Structure 1
Amino acid sequence: MIKWKDEYLVGITEIDEQHKKIFEIGERAYELLKNEIYIDKYDRIIAVINELREYAAFHFKWEEGYMTKIGYKRFFSQKVEHDEFIKKINSVDLEKVDMNQDEYLLSIIEFIINWIGEHIIEKDKLIAESR
């Protein structure tokens, strides 16, 4: 469901590779959602959330460093969006995850898809255009 397409390329190799990793995490969430073998997915959901949190923090730090290096004029708005992403991931209610596992997985997938459309395609492409 969450597959990489060339239309997501921003034109900065390192950022594109890092974005692909975010897609991979989203795809794992989708595969877990579709999995009918696991009755209790809680530990696996938490693992996906933790991986997304850790990788997003790494990616945002790298991307923000790059933007600073090139003097990107929209740095602050990017930083605010990055911080909001991390805040959302950090605000996970573990009890809600446990009570409605598939529903929560779906919300993670929707969050990633929305991030791709609203941030990667609309905002991150501007970084490459400003070089």
Structure 2
Amino acid sequence: MPQIVWTEKFSVGYPEIDRQHKEWIKIFNTAYDKMMSNDMNTISELGINAIQEMLDYAEKHFAFEEAYMKEIGYPQLAEHTQIHISFKVKLKKIHDDFQNGIRQLNSEIMKIVENWLVYHILSEDQKYKKFTLSD
């Protein structure tokens, strides 16, 4: 599983959201690097810290993105917000599993996060980009 590399196809046409997406990709890539380079003794702590950082960033980013969608009158705001909520619930469950020793940071967990992040930006977020371009 390679790192996520930002390309212009990820751009939603709003510089601050693009910057936040780049930052989230950086957080993901840093967690991936740590997972690949550490021994099993530190993986559990790494998992908790990495997922917590992603949760914290999700809260901040989703709030900003949802405020932007509200500002532009995006008609699918409620659906998009529900997708955000579902992902936060999934991340929280993974985080809790790490804390309870049920899971460890591994490529399967990182793939779940990677798939969601890439799909969300390239599919769901592109919908509000198209909406802004159609106005």
TM-score class, shorter: 0.7 to 0.9
- Please tell me the root mean square deviation across aligned C-alpha atoms, in Å: 1.6
1:108 offset after TM fit, Å? Answer: 3.2
- 2:108 and 2:58 map into 1 onto residues whose CA distance is 17
Q: How does 1:55-70 map to 2 (within 5 A)?
A: 55-70=57-72
Identity of aligned residues (%): 30
Cα contact 1:64–1:75 (8 A) shared by 2: yes
- 1:26 and 1:130 map into 2 onto residues whose CA distance is 28
In the alignment, structure 2 segments of 5+ residues that lack a partner are none
Runs of 4+ in structure 1 deviating by more than 4 angstroms, as ranges, are none
Q: How does 1:1-131 map to 2 (within 5 A)?
A: 1-37=3-39, 39-92=41-94, 93-94=97-98, 95-97=101-103, 101=104, 104-131=105-132
TM-score of the pair, normalised by structure 2: 0.84
Cα-to-partner distance string for 1:77-125 (whole Å, 9 max, x where unaligned): 101100001000111212123xxx3xx3323321222123321101101
In the alignment, structure 1 segments of 5+ residues that lack a partner are none
Aligned positions, number: 126
TM-score of the pair, normalised by structure 1: 0.87
